[in-house]
A and B are shown apart, each in its own frame.
Chain A
Amino acid sequence: MLSRDDQYSLKKTPLHGLHVSLGGKMVPFAGYDMPVQYPAGVLKEHLHTRSAAGLFDVSHMGQLALRPKSGRIGDAARALERLVPQDIVAIAPGRQRYAQFTGADGGILDDLMVANFGDHLFLVVNAACKEADEAHLRAHLSDDCIIDSLTERALIALQGPKAEAVLAKLCAEAPAMKFMDAGPHKVAGIACFVSRSGYTGEDGFEISVSAGDAERLAKILLEDPDVRPIGLGARDSLRLEAGLCLYGHDIDTATTPVEASLEWSVQKSRRTGGTRAGGFPGAEKILAHFDQGASRRRVGLRTEGRAPVREGALLFADATSVEPVGKVTSGGFGPSLNAPVAMGYVPTSQSALGIKLFAQVRGQRLAVQVAAMPFVKNTYKR
């Protein structure tokens, strides 16, 4: 339970008043008072996002600008490559890429989005890590970059199959954007940074807007009959069905990008034999995992019954063995699948699709099977 002092010290996003007026059930999340759901409830909010369009307030996330002191964007990109195993230099102007800050032992300090805005890089980081990320950037990149924490901005996600049509009415350029395009655009006449990305597996957009314009923009979007407000509960079930990692649960300082099955996010140029191989924290361990394999992997899990298998459940090789072989890191009920879904870490030798394992739930061993992710096919506009 939170003490009264903690409740009073919770931060509010620029859309807090709107959430309350929409009947949002407010809960503490990463130091913010956030809507976990609205009166429609998690199930309907989830399904609405998959069939029409959902509006999410993700203003608690951190937004930062990295401006090269030299004025050359390549210098900021090369500087950031000292902290992440991704190819940042190759991000073209107007494009965005998924990245991770890694630690000296190869673990993941946070995951983030990096966009090239022409004269600077624009970063979106997790709420719970944003102070640490900013300090990390200042400690390592201050010689090369001016680091601006964009605290006076809100972030609104519009996700789902109708997102494009909704946004097209307010931003003529939106339909021409492809997945992971990012840049400044006017939405309803308001200056924004718009990217075609999200955290649901659906096509959609993330819109960064100044705090002062955020509520006006959110209300304009919500006027569209296809758009409904979606809380953090459905945000979590949507990303779980999409097979996307939640920092602090599915990835953390004890997991490398290879263990986390995020190899796709590390470009060849940063791997062994690449043009800029290594040179990021933990490179020795991470590249060894690339070259020799890691002993465990993050996999998707499906159950046979309807009982959800949740975070923390231990995984066993058979119904009676004593020693666990792995652990569930995220799990719950997938409303679009109408079935439980989970992800967790298992030995690489037992990570092939179809491998049968057992999850311990309330003292019982439930049969689970390693399954392909995403659980729900993503619909990105590539």
Chain B
Amino acid sequence: MTTTLYTSDHEWLAIDGDVATVGITDYAQSQLGDVVFVELPKVGRTLKKTEAAAVVESVKAASDVYAPVTGEVTETNAALAAEPALVNSDAQGAAWFFKIKIADKSELGGLMDEAAYKAHTA
């Protein structure tokens, strides 16, 4: 059973046990426009909550993707290097960015559920 939470910076996290799969929201991709390049963190890197973890570039601009929680990166999505446009076509599915082992589950308390995120982007 996974739970999906959201940050105010437009990342989503699908939480399964102590591992979170992280990506950017469909709202975020619609604001960015055509994604042409994604830079992912190295597996094994420890990220601090709100630290710049990845970069997503559209034709026009580069945007940081922040770590939504503190933890170690356990896996990254190799498909994004070959096909950055996946971020536009399936932001909250196939275009996940990385998986992170959550160091402190209490950090999840400050994140939004889907209803709160919808209100945030309304």
Contact = CB atoms under 8 A, between A and B. Distances in A.
Please determine whether chains A and B interact with each other in the same assembly. Answer: yes
Contact of A308 (B33, B34, B57, B81): B57
Find the residue from B33, B57, B59, B60 having the highest chain A CB count within 10 A.
B59
B58 A42 contact: yes
Contacts of A332: 59-60
Nearest to B60: A233
A42 B57 contact: no
Nearest to A240: B59
A219 to B, nearest CB: 26
Interface residues of A, number: 20
A196 interface: no
A362 interface: yes
A236 B39 CA distance: 23
Interface in A188-223: none
A43 interface: yes
Nearest to A37: B33
Interface string A303-334: 00011101000000000000000000000110
Interface residues of B, number: 13
Chain A interface SS verdict (over half): mixed
B62 interface: yes
Contacts of B37: 306-308, 333, 340
Interface string B16-49: 0000000000000000011011010000000000
Contacts of A43: 33-34, 36, 59
A305 to B, nearest CB: 9
Interface of A: 36-37, 41-44, 46, 233-234, 236-237, 306-308, 310, 332-333, 335, 340, 362
Given A308-B36, A333-B58, 6 more contacts: A43-B33, A233-B59, A237-B59, A237-B60, A340-B37, A362-B39
27 contacts: A36-B60, A41-B34, A42-B58, A42-B59, A42-B60, A43-B33, A43-B34, A43-B36, A43-B59, A44-B34, A46-B59, A233-B33, A234-B59, A236-B60, A237-B59, A306-B36, A306-B37, A306-B81, A307-B39, A307-B57, A310-B62, A332-B59, A333-B36, A333-B57, A333-B59, A335-B59, A362-B55
